[in-house]
Amino acid sequence: MSKTNLRIAAIAAIGALALSACGNGGGDGGSEDGLKIGIKFDQPGLGLKDGNNYTGMDVEVAKKVAEGLGVSADKITWVQAPSPQREQLLKTGQVDMIVATYSITDKRKEEVSFAGPYFVAGQSLLVGADSDITGLDDSLDGKLVCSVAGSTSAQKIKDEIPGVELQEYNTYSECATQVANGTLDVLTTDDTILAGYAAQDAYKGKLKLAGDTFSEELYGIGLPKGSDRCEKINEVVTKMWEDGSMEKIIGDTLGPAEFQYNQELNPPTAGGNC
Ligand code: GLU
């Protein structure tokens, strides 16, 4: 490189640095340019990527939260946030927040903060349409169960059925495929997620939910620990339930799967997990 070119390159590099410094890349609070939001890409009704189209309850909640922070939907960068990677994505600044069927737990709160809860789901079972599994009982003896590593679902099924034959994948869609083709017997996770798969065209008539729910999953909006956006987001969530926009989102996104949310547990009270 010639001397002049070197100088130009150096000036360009300084310029890029200056731009990124005032661009509020990973900035927490203040005026917002854009947000990197982690969602699921393969959970119909909750977080689903289809080409450049993103749909689902979590996507709509994320847009409302962004709007409350002064960020329009076109300034959101959607990032895939599989369950086993969520804490790491937040800790490394690869995302600013996560809205991805992300249950608030004490263990996770050691590493990240949560706004919300904005919704309460419950763990259940998804089985083949002609399966004789009736729920969390003897009918599960000897069955092959699937869930996702690092999820509350995998932990809970191990606690409930010590010695369960559990396969742990990275995503629930991998489990759903295996249950639909009969390689595995059961997918266990939140009823919201299971209802979404059961209603998918590819699986219609092939999968069904079995038994009652056996956990309470309080969905939070994951944030870097100590984030100063947390309380503001709690206000947004509270308002969403008060003004009916949350009900509308649930109806629009989970309605097609005929999912009925638990009216005793919803709406939850947002706050206390920042
Ligand atoms: N809500 C549960 C969890 O956060 C299960 C669903 C998921 O993995 O996203 O672990």
Q: What is the pLDDT of residues 34-59, one digit of tens each?
A: 999 999 999 999 999 999 999 999 99
Q: What is the mean pLDDT of residues 228-235?
A: 98
Cβ neighbours for 242, distance < 8 A, ≥ 6 positions apart: none
Q: Give the global pTM.
A: 0.89
- Tell me, what DSSP letter sits at residue 56? S
From 126, 109, 127, 146, select the one nearest 226 (Cα to Cα).
109
Segment 103-116, tens digit of pLDDT:
999 999 999 999 99
If 0-12 CB within 10 Å is exposed, 13-18 middle and 19+ buried, where does residue 159 land? exposed
Ligand 1 mean position to 9 CA, how many Å?
Answer: 46
Burial 206-225 (b: 16+ CB within 10 A, else e): bbbbbeebebebbbbbbbbb
* Confidence grade of residue 90 (pLDDT, cut at 50, 70, 90): very high
Q: What is the mean pLDDT of residues 54-83?
A: 98
Site to probe by mutation for ligand 1, drawn from 152, 155, 172 as the one with most ligand atoms within 8 Å of Cβ, is 152
* Confidence grade of residue 2 (pLDDT, cut at 50, 70, 90): very low
- Tell me, what DSSP letter sits at residue 81? -
Ligand 1 mean position to 25 CA, how many Å?
Answer: 27
If 0-12 CB within 10 Å is exposed, 13-18 middle and 19+ buried, where does residue 20 land? exposed
Q: Give residue 19's pLDDT.
A: 44
Q: Give residue 32's pLDDT.
A: 65
CB 208 within 8 A of CB 79: no
Site to probe by mutation for ligand 1, drawn from 99, 125, 189, 265 as the one with most ligand atoms within 8 Å of Cβ, is 189
Q: What is the mean pLDDT of residues 229-256?
A: 98
Q: What is the mean pLDDT of residues 76-92?
A: 98
User: Where does ligand 1 bind, in terms of residues with CB under 6 Å?
Assistant: 83, 100-103, 148, 151-153, 189-190, 217
Which atom of ligand 1 lies closest to the CA of 217?
1
Q: Give residue 163's pLDDT.
A: 87
Residue whose CA lies nearest to ligand 1 atom number 6: 101
Q: What is the mean pLDDT of residues 70-80?
A: 97
Segment 144-160, tens digit of pLDDT:
999 999 999 999 999 99
Ligand 1 mean position to 158 CA, how many Å?
Answer: 15
Site to probe by mutation for ligand 1, drawn from 102, 146, 219 as the one with most ligand atoms within 8 Å of Cβ, is 102
Ligand 1 mean position to 79 CA, how many Å?
Answer: 17
Which atom of ligand 1 lies closest to the CA of 101?
9
Q: What is the mean pLDDT of residues 162-176?
A: 95
Residue whose CA lies nearest to ligand 1 atom number 10: 151
Ligand 1 mean position to 64 CA, how many Å?
Answer: 21
User: When comparing pLDDT for 124 and 18, which is higher?
Assistant: 124
